[in-house]
Structure 1
Amino acid sequence: MSVQHPSQPPALWWRVARVLLPVLLLAGSVVLYKAWQLLWKPNVTASAFGPAYLYIRSGSSFQAVLDSLTRHELLRDPETFAQVARWRDYPAHVQPGRYLLTPELGNSALLDKLRLGQQDTVAFTIDAFKYKPQLVRQVARQLEADSAQLRRLLNDNGQLLRRYQLDTTTILTMFLPGPYRFLWNTSATQFLDSAAAMHHRFWTAERRRQADSLKLTPTQVHVLASIVQRETSEPTDKPIIAGVYLNRLRTGMRLQADPTLLWAIGNFGVKRVLNKDKLVDSPYNTYKHKGLPPGPITSANRSSLNAVLKPAAHQYYFFCARPDRSGFSDFAETYAQHKRNARKYQRTLDSLKILR
């Protein structure tokens, strides 16, 4: 015969745990959800128009950053961003730059990017330019660099000589047209220093030897290359034209380069150079003055520079645009041959009624 024992009531702690555990789990879930909302929930507005960028100017305050984010509707919830930013002391660590904002970024990841200054670089191309203001406008459109400061630096002879061993005329030889990549908040001085570094990398020991063999300095190579570049865009003609001008320099002939004349009169749109143009009083008038002009007439690209450094060897002293207006030139060893070529081209201009 078995003995029945009455069941023991659950311990008090277990009864309490059964009541509190769901409450604690619910509270924990709420806390975790709130933390996820504040810190990790994606908070960047998706854009149908391509990547979104936040631009923070040098010296900006946290309020300016917040105003920019709000004004451009870059955040879904600016209030949670501001709350987390203050918790993480971001107002004391604002860094300038251009920041790519992607839709998956939550407040925590976005603040990591902004606090550490993890900005995107700006890739752009500097097109060939003839005058300093054209360069300044190209840079100002892409970078924070102060355009007024850049203009002042480009026209400060003492500063340029000390820093780059160039003057206000030859400084334009320092800029190579082509692709560049900078941080958006690059200053005017930093831009010039970077251009100087790229220029230095271009002038390798081999290229300097090539220039020496032609009895030209790197600056003179740039000046001559700028003339070649204005004469033609055809790669095969560039070394031949470079050879023509080098032949003239060696024999003491005037360059008589029409593009330098157009620079002197300030009109590159002229299709037909007139005798009166050749009378202009300018050191860039190579019909009047022997040797190279004092500075470049455009920023020479790499193909023009290489054409001067590796010119074609020949006995040509003259050339003229072909009458078919193909962009190529007809070359001549004698002035008589050149006059025949020139007359053919002039008849083409006459037939097209091009007077200027």
Structure 2
Amino acid sequence: MYIKRILLAIVIGGLLIGGVFAYMVYSAFFTPNTKFNNEEAFVYVTSNASFADVKVQLEPLLENLDTFESAADRKGYSANIKGGKYRIKKGMNNNEIINSLRSGNIPVKVAFNNQETLQDLAGRISVQIEADSISLLKTFQDDTFLASNGFNDETALVIYIPNSYEFFWNTTAEAFRARMLKEYNRFWNDERKEKASRLGMNPKEVVTLASIVHKESAKVDERPRVAGVYLNRLKKGMLLQADPTVIYALKRKANDFDMVIKRVLYEDLELDSPYNTYKYVGLPPGPIAMPDISAIDAVLNREKHDYYYFVANVEKFGYHMFAKSLAQHNRNKAQYIRWINSKKINR
């Protein structure tokens, strides 16, 4: 009888211990464990993160970090960290949090436009994905990659078609570049290539001209007309005489692309640079900025006309006055010069 009582006590004790253990395991896995007030929070896990790094990010978000760590150990997550952007919803338990961190990598929208240099582009992208600006710039400027794909230092910016794209946050610099080359090849479909060919141009030349058109006019509806002027001049062998190319040449010479130049002076037109279209016939060696898709398509679908000149319209700001003859252009230009002098814009 005494032995039976001992055995019964052992059994009951074991059941109690087992019950407590089961409760602790259940609590560790299935009890809600968030403490933020918003509906959701996001965790950014770097590609080389350790479990300790993950815990640092999670600590402000969780009620009990110890139970999370216990559950993560049991599910094997603590030894198998994956980089990415992850969503944690309010009221999630540890099991759900770990499942999200394990397989819920969320794509992010990466957008860019109007970057003047590869350095600017690298900086813009680095705030949107894990790759830093230094690794991005080094990848963008890689001579082997550029040469193997028909580009060089002057035309490298052509690869990057401004738009909004979906990436995983932990995308590497090399993977970003590879995707952009793929998007470039997709953008230059047969229809666009055929239009470029009819102009006697290749895609790199179209983008180079589009960058000038983009800088000349912010008005999307006017860009086909501006493009038509430059294409007329190219066809006739005339100098493009585009002020934005001179501004770019001045910035390039000074190695200061933050320089603000509101007015091109006559002395600037003498700058010896292949980007100075007042001195050198034809297109510059590459784009002077990243043109919008609207500017690229403006070149491909240029307006057919007999204009060879244009100057800013001081009565309709943002637009231009176009002329077929130099005499007419000089009259339009005189009006613009009077206006700019009245504003005392010297540089």
Question: Does the TM-score normalized on the shorter chain lie above 0.5?
Answer: yes
Aligned length: 333
87, 95, 98: which one aligns with 1:100: 87
Larger CA Rg, structure 1 vs 2: 1
The one-letter code of the counterpart of 1:58 is S
Shift of the alpha carbon at 1:31?
6.3
**Are positions 1:178 and 2:167 aligned together?**
no
230, 245, 257: which one aligns with 2:215: 230
Partner residue, 2:143 = 157
% identical equivalent positions? 37
Deviations, residues 256-313 of structure 1 (Å, cap 9, x unaligned): 1000000001166322211101011211000000110001011111100110000000
35, 56, 60: which one aligns with 2:49: 60
For structure 2, the residue ranges without an aligned partner over 5 or more in a row are 1-11, 252-256
54, 63, 74: which one aligns with 2:61: 74
**Are positions 1:260 and 2:249 aligned together?**
no
| Residues 1:55 and 1:128: Cα distance change in structure 2 (over 3 Å) | same
Q: C-alpha separation between the residues in 2 aligned to 1:281 and 1:74? A: 59
Do the aligned partners of 2:84 and 2:170 also contact (CA within 8 Å) in 1? yes
Shift of the alpha carbon at 1:24?
11
1:1-356 matches, within 5 Å, as: 33-48=23-38, 51-70=40-59, 73-116=60-103, 118-162=104-148, 164-266=149-251, 269-324=260-315, 326-356=317-347
Do the aligned partners of 1:321 and 1:330 also contact (CA within 8 Å) in 2? yes
Q: C-alpha separation between the residues in 1 aligned to 2:50 and 2:204? A: 44
Q: 2:338 is paired with a residue of what secondary structure?
A: helix
Partner residue, 1:8 = none
Q: C-alpha separation between the residues in 1 aligned to 2:328 and 2:25? A: 85
- Alpha-carbon RMSD: 2.4
Q: 2:221 is paired with a residue of what secondary structure?
A: coil
| TM-score relative to the length of structure 2 | 0.90
Do the aligned partners of 2:140 and 2:177 also contact (CA within 8 Å) in 1? no
Q: 2:127 is paired with a residue of what secondary structure?
A: helix
Q: C-alpha separation between the residues in 2 aligned to 1:190 and 1:45? A: 36
Shift of the alpha carbon at 1:74?
1.6
Partner residue, 2:9 = none
Deviations, residues 144-193 of structure 1 (Å, cap 9, x unaligned): 1132222222222222222x321121110111222122111100001111
For structure 1, the residue ranges without an aligned partner over 5 or more in a row are 1-21
Deviations, residues 71-103 of structure 1 (Å, cap 9, x unaligned): xx0211110000011111112211011111111
Q: C-alpha separation between the residues in 2 aligned to 1:104 and 1:204? A: 48
Shift of the alpha carbon at 1:65?
1.3
| Residues 1:25 and 1:91: Cα distance change in structure 2 (over 3 Å) | closer
Q: C-alpha separation between the residues in 2 aligned to 1:153 and 1:25? A: 62
Q: C-alpha separation between the residues in 1 aligned to 2:221 and 2:328? A: 21
The one-letter code of the counterpart of 1:53 is F
Deviations, residues 50-79 of structure 1 (Å, cap 9, x unaligned): 742111111211122112222xx0211110
Do the aligned partners of 2:42 and 2:88 also contact (CA within 8 Å) in 1? yes
Do the aligned partners of 2:141 and 2:156 also contact (CA within 8 Å) in 1? no
Shift of the alpha carbon at 1:23?
11
Shift of the alpha carbon at 1:28?
8.8
Q: C-alpha separation between the residues in 1 aligned to 2:260 and 2:326? A: 27
Q: 1:142 is paired with a residue of what secondary structure?
A: coil
| TM-score relative to the length of structure 1 | 0.88
Q: C-alpha separation between the residues in 1 aligned to 2:48 and 2:20? A: 39
